[in-house]
Structure 1
Amino acid sequence: MTLSRRNVIAGLGALPVCGKAVSVLPAVPKEVTPEALAHDERFWAAVARQFSVSPDFVNLENGYYGIMPDPVRRAYHRNVDHLNERNSHLLRTEYKPRADLVRDRVAAVLGVSREEIALTRGGTEALQNLISGYNRLRQGDTVMYADLDYHSGQYAMNWLRERRGVHVAKIVIPEPATRQAVLDTYDQALRDHPGLKLLLLSHMNNRTGLVTPVREIVTMARHAGVDVIVDAAHSWGQLDFTVADLDADFAVFSLHKWMGAPLGSGFLYIRKQCLSDMDRLYTDETYPVTDIRSRVHSGTMNVAPILTVDAALDFHESLGAAVKQARLRHLRERWVNQVRDIANLEILTPEEPETYGAITAFRISGRTSQADNVAITDTLMKTYRIFTVQRGGVARGDCVRVTPALFTSTDDVDRLAAALRDIAWRMRV
């Protein structure tokens, strides 16, 4: 059963400790489109004031995790204190009902039912559980991932080779990518591997930020008899979509990235009709085999992050996914458009709006080693006080990832663009 947002909030409000946050965000004007609002610096300055951010540097590495806005941070502190005070009494009495309310709330935002959601400590745990638990593989079958997929997902797929006796195929996403090129790559891969049974697919990858046309690829795979595990850890809360838009049977999500919940919160999704395709984790008997929660066993964990998810979703919904998406794309477009004319600077994420969000990577031509790109991030930090991160694993060489956030200003990304022009000039071949 999926509760309405009003019912969920009413239920949470009746609990002993209020995990909800009182937001003082400016009201989103109904008469303004998300795209127009994305340019309103006064509005976004008010949003930025909801975050406690270090003044020591410009943080453009927000893809690791998303810091909590202050109302969520305060709710988290209250929940930590309450957990510490109530101890096992909370865990044995309050927690499971409250976790179910969180599942209801998450499911409502995602457009699914509570019975299809199991809470985890993050997207990685969810991804590993789905990959290792998938039980339709037979010896000699093939599983596949791409060079841009998350490294922990790749490792888990490689693990299947040893444990299930399957073949592991790796494909390379073309560079520079386009939406059609990505579709063509997956179409050809499905044709080239008739024994393929399981595909790992990133909705938005953590290396270059490319957004793939998941629904179309899932459809192609389904016609070929291939199941797909969709990694949506980076896209949920950054892009405006529901599970219906992906048409996924299996997917993983993070709550501590773009939803702004505390570190240690995420969940997995299994379409109700597909639950039997995933084994219980370690034959867990805490829940019946028909309960999706039997696909997760995290042991005794810090439940304060989960108890704070409703506060994070309140903040998210006070802005709305469409507004967040428009602002993050605007910030990305602003710095990218200022450096596109630099001959020796390569932008690795395409220009088609449906193929990017906030995350974008760049490379200085010919500078493809880890050392080259760490040198760039070091220079950005030491000389310009801009924090970014080097990313490896891309087939054509390492790169630098840039990830603005809701508290990022246009001045911040303008500062990056100016720094990149200077760095690219110095590093020209």
Structure 2
Amino acid sequence: MMTVSRRDAMLLAAGAAAAGSAQAALPTGIIAADDEAGWARIAALYPKMGPVTQLEHGYWGNMAAPVAEVHRATLDRLNRDTSIYARRAMQKDVQAARARAAQVMGVQPGEIGFCRNAAEALQALISQFRAVAEGDAILWSDNDYETTQGAMASLARSRRATPVKIDLPRAPTHENVIAAYAEAIRTTPKLKFVVLTHGTHRSGLVVPVAEIAALAKAAGAVVLVDCAQSFLQRPFVIPDFGADYVVLNFHKWTGAPVGIAGYWCRPGMAALIAPAASEGEAKPDNVQAKVHQGTVDYAPQLTLPAALDFQAAVLPIPMKLARLQYLRNRWVSQLRGLPGLEIMVGDDPRLFGAITSFRIAGHTSTAENIAITDTLFNRYNIMTVHRSGLAAGACVRVTPALFSTPAECDRLVAALQDLVPQIAKA
């Protein structure tokens, strides 16, 4: 059985009361992936979704009631005390939040920085990377985030470097994804910088980044890993990747408020990232100086420890992953093999978490996939989202949450069994 600290128990009790579930039994042990009564107790700690079947939880996550309670109290304090708190006590609390985040990440506080979202950190670490010169090469893939790809292309232009963008296999496996990167690394002279995305936001593919990072570093390249979609969904700590820089989000699977993300620089590597223009060159090893924050909404940073504490007390990562994969398999297993429907990730559990996307045959444009998501929403009352940018064309992303139910996944199954034959014939 898991233990819950007195502080966590108080937070949970307060959150349950705030959610109107004071009588609900609070989960304090491991819940099997298919234990619907156990997961209903988890669901009681989150807001009710309303009439829409919400299967697009990859944007940001809901705060659990105990975390939302802390967030509200923090907003109240910031609104009430303003500069009295900000200038005399708040920085101590921000540093405590940084230390708590570093502990969960498996690194030291001085090695990480806070920012508003992963895209902001990725832009800074890529565009300010100093160790690329004319004639060098940089590598990324079609599965990386849109703004990441844009930043890499911009870096290549500004430094007159050689841009190398690869398309990952349409039917990915653990082996052929590694092989695709291995071939690109082997055949690219003067490779200096590689970006890898751990959990991709388009298809849902989980890339074996540790193996690929080792190949890139053996070739002399510096490696940046984006784990915005995988942090606290899969069991790892940041050093596991063997990378030089790592970026993550806290507002997705950590359940913190929107507006807090983090990034890490391997000790000795921070100076290769130029400070933000406003920071000057006085502190090349200062990790936080890579992203100039200015005056931001501090409530997400100050709420982060409560989110991390809730996750540690109630939602151990292997249990979370098992539930998310169970829900994903619930809809995928019923639809795999449906004529006209392409499920974009296979069933190797190393390669998927919550997210898996689908594509309807002959419908690969962004407009067509927006139309599919609109039809699912307007006709079937199901929320999904289109994703574009893959070499094989656009797709529709499905992302259940921990409190999603098998019945909600079944609604998607019924909708697609009805819709795909109609669309595929068109």
TM-score (norm 2): 0.92
Measured on the aligned residues, the alpha-carbon RMSD in Å equals 2.3
Q: Secondary structure at the match of 2:114?
A: strand
Q: Which whole-Å CA distance do the structure 1 matches of 2:90 and 2:236 have between them?
A: 29
Q: Which residue in 2 is equivalent to 1:210?
A: 205
Does structure 1 residue 384 correspond to structure 2 residue 386?
A: no
Tell me what 2:20 maps to: none
1:102 to 97, 100, 121: 97
Is 1:42 the counterpart of 2:27? The answer is no
State the SS of the aligned residue for 1:263.
coil
Distance 1:149 1:280 in 2: 24
Aligned counterpart, 1:51? 46
For residue 308 of structure 1, what is the aligned residue in structure 2? 303
Per-residue displacement from partner, 1:265-294 (whole Å, max 9, x unpaired)?
A: 001001112222222121615983332122
Residue 349 of structure 1: how far off its partner (Å): 1.3
Report whether the alignment pairs 1:399 with 2:376.
no
State the Cα deviation string for residues 289-314 of structure 1 (Å, max 9, x = none): 33212222111111011000011112
Q: Give per-residue Cα distances to partners, 1:6-33, cap 9 Å, x unaligned.
A: 99x99x9xxxxx9998565733435xxx
1:144-181 superposed Cα distances (whole Å, 9 cap, x missing partner): 21011000111111121332222211100011111111
> Which moved further from structure 2: 239-248 or 213-222?
239-248
Deviates more, 1:156-165 or 1:202-211: 156-165
Q: 2:153 aligns with which of 158, 163, 174?
A: 158
What is the percentage of aligned positions where both structures have the same residue?
A: 39
Instruction: Determine if the alignment matches structure 1 residue 348 to structure 2 residue 328.
Output: no
Q: Is the 8 A contact 1:19 1:308 kept in 2?
A: no
- What amino acid maps onto 1:335 in structure 2? W
Instruction: Give the alignment partner of residue 413 of structure 1, picking from 406, 409, 413.
Output: 409
Equivalent residues in 2 for 1:122-133, closer than 5 Å: 122-133=117-128
In structure 2, what is the equivalent of residue 225 of structure 1?
220
- Counting matched residue pairs gives 414
Contact 1:138-1:166 at 8 Å conserved across structures: yes
Contact kept? 1:60, 1:387, Cα under 8 Å? yes
Q: CA 1:22/1:127 → structure 2, altered by over 3 Å: closer, same or farther?
A: farther
Structure 1 outlier segments of 4+, above 6 Å: 18-21
**Which whole-Å CA distance do the structure 2 matches of 1:112 and 1:290 have between them?**
16
Q: Aligned equivalents of 2:90 and 2:383: distance in 1?
A: 38
Matched, 1:198 2:186: no
5+ residue gaps, structure 1, are 1-5, 13-17
1:388–1:81 distance in 2 versus 1, CA, 3 Å? same
8 Å CA contact 1:143, 1:199 repeated in 2: yes
> Please, which of 84, 88, 92 is the counterpart of residue 83 of structure 2?
88
Which residue does 2:293 correspond to in 1? Answer: 298
Shift of 1:133: 2.0
Q: Secondary structure at the match of 1:366?
A: coil
Runs of 5+ unmatched residues, structure 2:
17-24
In the alignment, the residues of structure 1 paired with residue 203 and residue 15 of structure 2 have an alpha-carbon distance, to the nearest angstrom, of: 33
Give the TM-score of the pair, scaled to structure 1.
0.92
CA contact (8 A) 1:344 1:428 kept: yes
Are residues 219 and 60 of structure 1, via their aligned partners in 2, closer, same or farther at CA, if it must alter by over 3 Å? same
Q: 2:111 aligns with which of 107, 113, 116?
A: 116
Amino acid paired to 1:424? V
Secondary structure at 1:82 match in 2: helix
Does residue 323 of structure 1 match 2:319?
Answer: yes
Name the SS of the counterpart of 2:76 in structure 1.
helix
Q: CA, structure 1 residues 21+202, in 2 after alignment: closer, same or farther (shift >3 Å)?
A: farther
Say whether the 8 Å CA contact 2:124–2:276 is kept in structure 1. yes
